[in-house]
């Protein structure tokens, strides 16, 4: 089943580096090996120590092996219940430890966690491979697949059988013994490479610092960002100076507001060269990842890794994904030329005597926005205190889906900054636990994401097991004088990740492997992206956007400016995103194991696409974690734009009926959020929308269709 297919590991020989023996005493004292006595079975984070992970991994693997063997040894004819469902319910202990460990390696890592990863991940990867390459187990699944038309299965059961069969075949079940062994070695190698790649990014990010010792160079920067830079300087031993880092809340305001062009250039070049030199250089790792992915794809019968990855999702083929991107690419690049011309006019009028460069784009785009719309993002941010925006997010969910959020201050949490909420429906029934972790720290990777500490499913007796969902972000930090004031992009990101959270919280799918976000990769972004639209809806803004000092509601005039400027700079944003997606697909289309020069490859893709010189790929390959840090979005970064066709088209229905129309919200909740992966995603979309999505909706949403 999908949840057993995480193949994240490193060299198996590392297992001997630590003692993983598990005595009875350690079992009884290990929080993972007992039932959680916490509210709603939230993991008891305060009780978990480093030495609990490896024994729990080892015991969890041992238990699941026994459970899988019991399925294989069952003398009865295979049924959905004794095979598919039994597999889905196996590995409870392993799931408990893995779900916590993998979460904390991303959001609260440490040298100790990295050391444990180098032991635990090979164990986990090898165990997953052994399950998916177990021929006796596969034969039971194949029997059900071959006889699927002879039984009266529900739609969800049929889909579970089909998905499980395909998961087995995509993970080597049809290979002979020698090729299975080869695939397992490839998976271990890739896991090791992913670990090293991610470690390099985190190390390089934390090592970078742009130290400013002259206050005049800070002209143009918001006071709140200057204050954070001063605090960072003290933290790093540069008291009396200012330090800027590559974390988005530090990097982006500097690029957007700093009048000093040299400062902007230093920051920009620091970012695009991240993890590309010295001991943290990821280029050699990328070469090996690409080679091993080609070998894996070929072993499984595919011409390229991109063919392998798109075969299992809505797109079905690389050509379909690429065709969509190219339809977006041309109008986006055309708009970039218009945007650059507007910016260059300002440079020339100011006597700048230079051509717009990539490190100028954010800065002069902001000047154009002020000129065209009389809109200053610094002014707007005063109304977007983090806590106020979160209230808006919760209010949206209450209006649309009838759920409320009550903080649980005494609930277990893995870091002091985490907040925990009890989510209930209109009848007062518990729906989910929701956690937020919104600010950057050295132990957290960049970006924003959603996942779960506990999955949802329905027991045989009809009892519903409800989930524990969390959102992680890297938003602008509060200072001693001001709360966290979010940028427009951060506001949308909070709504985006909360949309993923709703997908996890509101699921009513019966089976674990189909609950919540366990859907096709190019469908998973629909719930996240459609909820971004509410962030700037006037009706909701008036509820949550209050000036952090005066409490004043955002004035209508300012809201109107936000609406008028909603598609500002979309040429840049779309070109940057589509360019990264196309770069990803080009990496995936490689079908040779010859050495690839990473920088030359990127350059050739940019030239072939006609990437404007003023715009860079959203992520350079050395820090494109989505596609090289794991297999999650490899040859799949296009899915953000694929899903935007759905979300833009879907939100047009809300606009037509009313953004808080109860019937439309109910249709989306019941057909998309609750169903998870229990039905074909396009069927779910049609059930909600009443029609196929219109690709032009994306271009309209981004203001690229005239």
Contact residues for 448 (Cβ-Cβ < 8 A; gap 6+): 471, 472, 473, 474, 493, 496, 497
Report the Cα 683 to chain-centroid distance in Å.
24
Report the Cα 77 to chain-centroid distance in Å.
40
Among candidate residues 58, 322, 497, 537, the one labeled active-site is 497
Burial 437-473 (b: 16+ CB within 10 A, else e): bbbbeebbbbebebbbbbbbbeeeeeeeebbbbbbbb
Using an 8 Å Cβ cutoff, are 579 and 611 in contact?
yes
Using an 8 Å Cβ cutoff, are 358 and 606 in contact?
no
Which two structure tokens, joined as six digits, stand for 583? 């770069």
- The closest alpha carbon to 574, from 617, 531, 606, belongs to 617
Strand (E) positions, 351-462? 404-407, 419-424, 430-437, 449-454, 457-458
Instruction: Provide the 3-class DSSP secondary structure of residue 175.
Output: coil
Using an 8 Å Cβ cutoff, are 474 and 439 in contact?
yes
User: Where do runs of H (alpha helix) occur along 6-76?
Assistant: 24-29, 50-73
Task: Tell me how far CA of residue 44 lies from CA of 37, 96, 101, in angstroms.
Answer: 8, 11, 13
239 is catalytic: no
- Cα 636 to Cα 625: distance, rounded to the nearest angstrom: 12
Report the Cα 551 to chain-centroid distance in Å.
33
Which two structure tokens, joined as six digits, stand for 295? 């070998």
- Cα 133 to Cα 180: distance, rounded to the nearest angstrom: 7
Residue positions annotated with a catalytic role = 497
């Amino acid at each position: 089943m999908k949840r057993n297919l995480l193949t994240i590991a490193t060299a198996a020989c590392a297992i001997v580096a630590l003692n993983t023996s598990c005595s009875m005493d350690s079992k009884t004292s290990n929080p993972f090996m007992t039932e959680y006595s916490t509210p709603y079975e939230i993991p008891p984070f305060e009780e978990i120590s480093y030495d609990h992970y490896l024994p729990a991994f080892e015991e969890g693997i041992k238990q699941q092996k026994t459970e899988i063997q019991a399925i294989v040894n069952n003398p009865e004819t295979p049924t959905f219940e004794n095979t598919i469902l039994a597999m889905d319910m196996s590995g409870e202990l392993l799931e408990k430890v893995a779900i916590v460990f993998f979460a904390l390696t991303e959001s609260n890592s440490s040298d100790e966690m990295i050391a444990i990863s180098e032991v635990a991940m090979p164990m986990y990867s090898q165990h997953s491979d052994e399950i998916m390459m177990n021929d006796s187990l596969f034969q039971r699944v194949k029997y059900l697949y071959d006889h699927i038309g002879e039984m009266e299965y529900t739609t969800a059961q049929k889909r579970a059988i089909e998905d499980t069969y395909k998961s087995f075949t995509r993970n080597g079940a049809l290979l002979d013994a020698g090729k299975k062994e080869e695939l397992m070695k490839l998976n271990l190698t890739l896991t090791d490479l992913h670990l090293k790649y991610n470690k390099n990014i985190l190390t390089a990010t934390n090592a970078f610092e742009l130290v400013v010792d002259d206050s005049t160079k800070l002209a143009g920067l918001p006071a709140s960002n200057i204050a954070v830079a001063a605090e960072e300087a003290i933290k790093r031993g540069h008291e009396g100076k200012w330090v800027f880092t590559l974390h988005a809340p530090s990097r982006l305001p500097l690029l957007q507001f700093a009048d000093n062009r040299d400062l902007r250039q230093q920051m920009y070049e620091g970012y695009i060269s991240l993890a590309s030199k010295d001991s943290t250089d990821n280029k050699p790792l990328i070469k090996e990842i690409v080679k091993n992915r080609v070998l894996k794809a070929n072993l499984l019968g595919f011409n390229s890794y991109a063919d392998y990855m798109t075969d299992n999702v809505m797109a079905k083929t690389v050509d379909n994904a690429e065709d969509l991107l190219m339809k977006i690419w041309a109008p986006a690049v055309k708009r970039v030329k218009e945007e650059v011309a507007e910016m260059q006019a300002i440079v020339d009028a100011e006597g700048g005597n230079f051509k717009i460069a990539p490190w100028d784009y954010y800065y002069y785009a902001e000047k154009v926005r002020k000129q065209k719309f009389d809109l200053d993002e610094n002014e707007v941010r005063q109304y977007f205190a983090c806590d106020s925006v979160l209230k808006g997010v919760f209010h949206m969910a209450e209006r649309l889906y009838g759920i409320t959020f009550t903080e649980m201050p005494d609930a277990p949490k893995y870091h002091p900054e985490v907040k925990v909420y009890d989510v209930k429906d209109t009848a007062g029934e518990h729906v989910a636990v929701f956690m937020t972790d919104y600010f950057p720290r050295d132990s957290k990777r960049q970006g924003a994401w959603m996942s779960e500490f506990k999955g949802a499913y329905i027991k045989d007796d009809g009892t519903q097991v409800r989930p524990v969902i969390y959102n992680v972000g890297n938003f602008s930090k509060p200072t001693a004088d001001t709360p966290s004031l979010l940028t427009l992009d951060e506001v949308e990101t909070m709504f985006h990740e909360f949309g993923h959270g709703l997908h996890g919280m509101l699921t009513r799918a019966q089976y674990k492997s189909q609950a919540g976000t366990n859907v096709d990769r190019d469908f998973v972004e629909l719930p996240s992206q459609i909820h971004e639209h509410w962030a700037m809806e006037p009706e909701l803004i008036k509820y949550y956007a209050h000036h952090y000092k005066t409490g004043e509601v955002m004035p209508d005039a300012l809201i109107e400016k936000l609406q008028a400027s909603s598609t500002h700079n979309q040429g840049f944003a779309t070109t940057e995103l589509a360019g990264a997606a196309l770069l990803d697909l080009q990496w995936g289309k490689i079908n040779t194991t010859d050495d690839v020069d990473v920088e030359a490859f990127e350059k050739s893709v940019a030239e072939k696409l006609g990437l404007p010189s003023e715009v860079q790929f959203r992520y350079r390959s050395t820090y494109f974690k989505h596609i090289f840090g794991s297999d999650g979005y490899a040859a799949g970064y296009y899915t953000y734009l694929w899903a935007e066709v759905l979300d833009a088209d879907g939100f047009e229905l809300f606009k037509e009926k009313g953004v808080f129309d109860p019937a439309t919200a109910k249709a989306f909740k019941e057909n998309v959020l609750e169903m998870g992966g229990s039905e074909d995603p396009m069927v779910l979309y049609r059930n909600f929308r009443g029609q196929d999505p219109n690709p032009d909706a994306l271009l309209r949403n981004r203001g690229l269709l005239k």
